[in-house]
Structure 1
């Protein structure tokens, strides 16, 4: 029995990055021996064991043989005579197929260390083509390591294109597509995830609502980049700079979905694109089975981002109505994410990345002064039902009127 540190732990160590998990592969053993040594078995598809002390995952070396469609259509063999090289060959990228002995020596039969040094994301073997999920994984790694200069190897990109053309991506479950998308949105360069998928023609079968935005023109006066798809990528870049969470970045990704539905005869205008995109966003979220929080924020940003852009021009009553529609009173944290998404949208335009966006500060101030008005105090004064609502709105509107808008201009 021999064990080797594998995968991300080795890759990140070579890159000088702190790794969250340490996974091991065990060669020359059996489930019975592992259990006899005190390891705890977990997982149903193939034997994975937790170390009795460190609780780190140890998997028996295995090979995989394609037996059906999708990423689950495999037959696994974990016999004790399977070699480390055979186990590493089934992995996706060479940079993830490096092992390390317990004494710290590298075992690198597929030259992953060289690809790490050269910033190349390259598939290990032709078996890559058997697992459609790897298309998303490569795009996610491209997003993760973009800041280090990593690029997808041409031959790997060709294989990804072949997988997209084969229809295999349609066999992926919604949960796995969302899981990879959500993780990619949390990477340092999520816009690269979208770009890589589009380059290999995988974006259309996976996220058609986003893919159709590319090539759709906008008014150049307001959008120097013109192309709506490029605008969305620029917005994602700004969302990262604003240190947003994945729900907010998903909302940024979806905020202009309605522009992909604009009739050609009215382009580059996009009248009422905010509400026009809501059914498509709902369909997207239902298909991917996104969490409720992501869906709600995406719909909120899509419907009201132009209201936020015009905040300094809105009447006090309209400002209060916007806060009410966003449920800012009860969910101020989500409202803050809404504001950040709108700011990313405003700055996601070529040449306008550093433009001032005072609307955010104004709406934050509006929420502060409105929340100082206590509904409980009004109830104590005898206001109830419709009269309570009317009095609350009236006082909130008066509070917004008192804000000096010039100070935000």
Structure 2
């Protein structure tokens, strides 16, 4: 029985990047051997165990065979006679197929270290084309390591395109797609993920609502970049600069979906694109089974982002009513997320990337002023029932008025 560290821990150590998780492959052992050593089984598709002390993952070396479409269409063979080389050859990218033994010796049969040095994402073997999930994984690695200068090998991109053309990505289950999207949104350069998906054709299959934004023109007066798809990627880039929260980045990504269905005869104007976008955002979230907090913020940003841009034109009462619609007084953190996504929209335009955040500050000031109004004081004045809510709104409007002048 031999144990090797594999995958991301080895890769990131060689890149001098912080190692988050450690994964291990166990060669020359059986399920019974692992159980006898008090490892806890957790694998559903194949034997994976948690170490009794560290709780890190240890997987038995395995081989796999494609038997059906999709991510789950594999049969696995796990036995003590499966070698380290057998296990590594089934991995996706050469940079993920490097192993390190307990003495620190590296095993690199597929020249992953060379590709690390050359900054290339390259598939290990032709079996790459058997797993459609690898399209999303490569796109995610391209986003994560973009700042390191990594690019995708041409032959690997060709395989990804082939997977799309053969409808393999269509077989991916919604939960797995969302898991990869959410991970990508948490990476340093999330817009690269969606650009890679578009390059290989997968974006049109998995997120057609975003794909159809490309080629849709906007008014050059407000959007020097013109193309709505380009604008969306720029907004996502700005959201990543402004916030580490993937929920903010997701809302920024979807905020302009309504522009994708504007009739061509109305281009480059997009009147009421906010309201047209709401059902599209809801459809995306339902299809991918997106968590409620992501869905709620994305819907609010889609419907109300123009109010953010027009704060100087809004009446005091309109601002207070908007704060109520956003549920800002009960959910101030979500309101802050709303502001960041809207600010990313403002900065996600050619020439505006380093513009000020004055509108964000004004909205924060209005909220803080309105939030100072005390309901207890209104009750103490003798108001009851619906009159309390009415007086609360009146006083909040007055507080916003003072704040703005």
Q: 2: distance between equivalents of 1:153 and 1:31? A: 37
Contact 1:244 1:337 in 2 (8 A): no
What's the offset of the Cα at 1:382? 2.0
Residue aligning to 1:155: 155
Residue aligning to 2:6: 6
Residue aligning to 2:377: 377
Q: 1: distance between equivalents of 2:52 and 2:291? A: 35
What's the offset of the Cα at 1:345? 0.3
Deviation string 1:85-111 (CA, Å, 9 cap, x unpaired) is 110011111100000111111100001
Residue aligning to 1:275: 275
| SS in structure 1 of the partner of residue 145 of structure 2 | helix
| SS in structure 1 of the partner of residue 403 of structure 2 | coil
Contact 1:312 1:362 in 2 (8 A): no
Please list, as runs of the form range in 1=range in 2, the aligned pairs for 1:98-247 lying within 5 A after superposition: 98-247=98-247
| SS in structure 1 of the partner of residue 92 of structure 2 | coil
What's the offset of the Cα at 1:22? 1.0
What's the offset of the Cα at 1:356? 1.7
Q: 1: distance between equivalents of 2:192 and 2:45? A: 32
Residue aligning to 1:301: 301
Q: 1: distance between equivalents of 2:303 and 2:379? A: 32
Q: 2: distance between equivalents of 1:183 and 1:240? A: 13
RMSD: 1.0
Please tell me whether residue 400 in structure 1 is matched to residue 397 in structure 2. Answer: no
Q: 1: distance between equivalents of 2:173 and 2:38? A: 35
Which range moves more in the overlay, 294-303 or 12-21? 12-21
Residue aligning to 1:25: 25
Contact 1:164 1:202 in 2 (8 A): yes
Contact 1:10 1:98 in 2 (8 A): yes
Contact 1:174 1:289 in 2 (8 A): yes
Cα separation, partners in 2 of 1:399 and 1:118, compared to 1, 3 Å: same
What's the offset of the Cα at 1:244? 3.7
Contact 2:4 2:99 in 1 (8 A): yes
Where do 5+ consecutive residues of structure 2 fail to align? none
Please tell me whether residue 290 in structure 1 is matched to residue 290 in structure 2. Answer: yes
Q: 1: distance between equivalents of 2:392 and 2:15? A: 57
| SS in structure 1 of the partner of residue 64 of structure 2 | strand
Q: 1: distance between equivalents of 2:245 and 2:53? A: 34
| SS in structure 2 of the partner of residue 64 of structure 1 | strand
| SS in structure 2 of the partner of residue 19 of structure 1 | coil
What's the offset of the Cα at 1:174? 0.7
| SS in structure 2 of the partner of residue 403 of structure 1 | helix
Contact 1:64 1:77 in 2 (8 A): yes
What's the offset of the Cα at 1:401? 1.1
What's the offset of the Cα at 1:3? 1.1
Contact 1:244 1:340 in 2 (8 A): no
What's the offset of the Cα at 1:50? 2.1
Contact 1:204 1:211 in 2 (8 A): yes
Q: 2: distance between equivalents of 1:244 and 1:388? A: 39
TM-score after normalising by structure 1: 0.97
Q: 2: distance between equivalents of 1:281 and 1:110? A: 42
Contact 2:216 2:227 in 1 (8 A): yes
Q: 1: distance between equivalents of 2:39 and 2:386? A: 65
What's the offset of the Cα at 1:333? 0.4
What's the offset of the Cα at 1:340? 0.3
Contact 2:67 2:75 in 1 (8 A): yes
| SS in structure 2 of the partner of residue 100 of structure 1 | strand
Residue aligning to 2:350: 350
What's the offset of the Cα at 1:34? 2.0
Q: 2: distance between equivalents of 1:117 and 1:305? A: 43
Please tell me whether residue 47 in structure 1 is matched to residue 47 in structure 2. Answer: yes
What's the offset of the Cα at 1:243? 2.1
Contact 2:366 2:404 in 1 (8 A): no
Residue aligning to 2:310: 310
| SS in structure 2 of the partner of residue 218 of structure 1 | coil
| SS in structure 2 of the partner of residue 277 of structure 1 | helix
Q: 2: distance between equivalents of 1:76 and 1:396? A: 63
TM-score after normalising by structure 2: 0.98
What's the offset of the Cα at 1:122? 0.6
What's the offset of the Cα at 1:29? 1.3
Deviation string 1:253-311 (CA, Å, 9 cap, x unpaired) is 00000000100000000000000010111000000000000000000000100100111
Residue aligning to 1:251: 251
Contact 1:61 1:84 in 2 (8 A): yes
What's the offset of the Cα at 1:141? 0.5
| SS in structure 2 of the partner of residue 290 of structure 1 | coil
What's the offset of the Cα at 1:315? 1.1
